[in-house]
Amino acid sequence: MFEHLNVVATSVFVFFFALVTVIGFFAANWKRASLDSIGEWGLGGRQFGPWVTWFLLGGDLYTAYTVIAVPAVIYGIGAQGFFAVPYTIIIYPFLYLTMPRLWAVTHKHQYLTAADFIHGRYGNRALELAVALTGLVATMPYIALQLVGLEKVIGALGFEGQGIYAHAPITVAFVILALYTYKSGLRAPALIAFVKDAMIYVFIIAAIIVIPYELGGWAKIFSAASDVYAAKVTAGKVPAAGLTLAPQQLGPYITLAIGSAMALFMYPHALTGTLAASSGRAIRFNTMTLPAYSFVLGLIALLGMMALAAGVKVNSNTDAVPQLVLWAFPDWFAGFCFSAIALGALVPAAVMSIGAANTFTRNVWKPFIHPQMTPAEESAVAKIISLVVKIGALGVIFFMPTQFALDLQLLGGVWMVQIFPAVVFGLFTRWFSGWALLIGWAAGIVVGTALSWTPKAWAPVHKLAWDVPFLGPLDSHLGFAAYNGLTSVLLNIAIATLLSLVMRSKAPDATRPEDYLD
C-alpha cells in the first residue's frame, strides 16, 4: 500500500491538509453568530463582503476537477477543451444584470434558495419542488467528481490500495470535511478558500514559467502538441484533434459555451455563494473581477499541451496533470501543488453539500414533511443532510464506475439549465405562468435526457440531423452538432411561452417590483 509512496510530497500534502482542517474548525468563531439558524449556518449570515465573496465564488466555481478535467480534454483532443474559457467569461456580464436582483429579493424576503424565490414569485409548490429536485440530483455527481480529482492526486503521491482500501484516503478526507462543515457551515469553505485560491495561483504561475523553460519555450510546446494531435487523427484514435478547431467542432464549441454559461449559476452551490454576499454591490464587484479566474483557467488548460510536449504517457487523460507535476517539479513543490488541487476539491464539495442541504431542508422537508419547523430545526436538518449528501457522493465513487459518474456530470448541466427560464425570467417579469414553466421544464428534462442517451454512455452533444419536410436532413443545411442542454432549454422556453399565453396564473406573487432593487 505504501511501497511507492512519495514521502516528501506526501508530508507537504498532509501538512497543508492539517492546516486547512484547523482553519475549518476555527471558522465557527469567525464572524461569530449562533449557527442554530440555517441562515447563519447555510449562508454565513449573508455578511460576506466583496473580497470574501470573491474568494468563495472562485473557490466554489473553479474546482479540483477544473484543474484536472479541462487540461485532460486538451490533452486528449486539443482546442475543443477551451470552450470552458469563453463560457466563464460570457457569464459575468449576464450575472451583473441578474444576480443583484436575485440577491435583493431573497434578502428582503429571507429566501435561502432559488426554489424559495420560485415559490414566492409564482406561488406554485410543484414548480418549487421541480427546481429543488433538479438541483439535488445534479449536485450529487458533481460532488463525486471532486472526489475523482482528489483520488488522482492521492494516486500520484504513490498511494496504492486494493478493495476497500483503495478509497481509504478520500474517505478520511471527506470525514474530516464533513465534521468541520457540520460544525462551521458556510464559514468553513469561505475561510479555507483564501488559502486554496492563493495556492492555486502560486501553482499555476510556477507552472507557466518553469515548465515552458524546461521544454524549450512555447513554440516547441505547441509544435510537439500539434504533432501528437495529428498522429491521433491519423491513427483514428479521435475524429478531430488539433491546436485549432476542426469545422465539425465549431457547433459543439459554441453551444457548449452558451449552454454551460446558462447552467452554471443555476446550481445550488453557485447560488449559495452568491446569496451569502452582504450586498448587491459585492456581487457587482465580483462580476467585474472574477474574470481573473477565467484568465487562470486558460493557463490551466495549457497544462494539457505541456503534458503532451513533456512526453507524459497515462492510461487515463485525467492523470495528465498530476504526472506532469511530478515530471516538472521537485517532490516538495509537487506536494504543494497536489495540496492546492486537493483543496480545490474540498472547498467546492463543502459548498455543494451546504447548497444541497439548504435546498432539501427549505424546499422538500419543510413544505412537504414538517411545515411548522423552527429555525433551529431547519439548521439541524440541514446539517444532517449535508452529511448524507457527502456519504452519497462517496457511494457514487465506491459503487459506480468513474466513467459513469463523469457521464452523469455532463448530464447535470443539461438538467440544471432547465430551471433557467423560471429563475431568470422571473427576476424581470411575472408574465410567465408557473404551470407553463413546469411543463416546459418537464419537456426540457425529458428531451435533454433522451438526446444525451446513447447505448454506450451519456453524450453531451448531438447532431442536428432531423428530417424536415421539403428540406431533407437538417444537418445538411446547418452543418453542426449542438449541446443537448441548449437545444432542450430552447424547447423548454418555447413551450413555456406558448402555454403562458393561455394558462394565465391566478396564484399570488409574494414579491413587489421594488423588492428587486438593492
Give Cα 388 distance to the centre of its chain: 19
Cα torsion 202, 204, 206, 209: sign: negative
- Residue 488 in domain: no
Q: What are all long-range contacts of 233-241, with beta carbons under 8 Å and residues at least 24 apart?
A: 238/76, 238/77, 240/77, 240/80, 241/76, 241/77, 241/78, 241/80
**Cβ-contact 358, 272 below 8 angstroms:** yes
In angstroms, the CA 266 to CA 27 distance is 27
Q: How many CA atoms lie within 13 A of 399 on its CB side?
A: 6
Please report the pLDDT score of residue 491 as a whole number.
96
> Rounded to the nearest 5°, which phi and psi values hold at 433?
-85, 140
- Residue 245 in domain: yes
The DSSP output letter for 33 is -
> DSSP letters along 433-481, please?
-HHHHHHHHHHHHHHHHHHHB-SSSB-SEEE---EETTTEETHHHH--E
- Residue 423 in domain: no
CATH number at residue 322: 1.20.1730.10
What residues contact 285, with CB distance under 8 A and at least 6 apart?
Answer: 50, 53, 54
- Residue 416 in domain: no
Taking only the tens of pLDDT, the chain with its 518 residues reads: 566 788 899 999 989 888 888 888 888 777 777 778 888 898 888 889 999 888 888 877 778 778 888 898 899 888 888 888 888 888 999 999 999 999 999 999 999 999 999 999 999 999 999 999 999 988 888 888 888 888 888 888 887 766 666 677 778 887 888 888 888 888 888 888 888 889 999 999 999 999 999 999 999 999 999 999 999 888 877 788 889 888 888 888 899 999 999 998 899 988 998 999 999 999 999 999 988 888 888 999 999 999 999 999 988 888 899 999 999 999 999 999 999 998 888 888 889 999 999 999 999 999 999 999 988 899 999 999 998 888 887 777 777 666 555 666 778 899 999 999 999 999 999 999 999 999 999 999 999 999 888 776 677 888 766 554 544 554 544 457 889 999 999 999 999 999 999 988 788 999 999 999 98
Domain carrying residue 101: 7-402
Q: CA nearest 347: which of 63, 18, 23?
A: 63
Q: 3-state class of 437 per DSSP?
A: helix
Per residue, the 3-state secondary structure of 223-241, as one string, reads HHHHHHHHHHHHCCCCCCC
- Residue 255 in domain: yes
- Residue 248 in domain: yes
CA distances from 107 to 38, 127, 273, 501 (A): 14, 21, 14, 31
In angstroms, the CA 114 to CA 103 distance is 10
- Taking only the tens place, the pLDDT of each residue in 226-284 is 999 999 888 877 788 889 888 888 888 899 999 999 998 899 988 998 999 999 999 99
Identity of residue 306: M
- Residue 299 in domain: yes
* Measured CA angle at 386 (ends 67, 57), to 5 deg: 40
Partner residues linked to 481 by β-bridges: 463
What residues contact 223, with CB distance under 8 A and at least 6 apart?
Answer: none
Please report the pLDDT score of residue 294 as a whole number.
87
- Residue 475 in domain: no
* Helix (H), strand (E) at residue 138: helix 125-156
What residues contact 193, with CB distance under 8 A and at least 6 apart?
Answer: 55, 56, 58, 59, 60, 347
Query: What angle in degrees, to the nearest 10, is found between the helix axes of 64-77 and 125-156?
Result: 70
In angstroms, the CA 101 to CA 428 distance is 9
Q: How many independent structural domains does the chain possess?
A: 1
Please report the pLDDT score of residue 134 as a whole number.
95
**Cβ-contact 337, 203 below 8 angstroms:** yes
Question: Using alpha carbons only, how large is the chain's radius of gyration in Å?
Answer: 23
Please report the pLDDT score of residue 476 as a whole number.
46
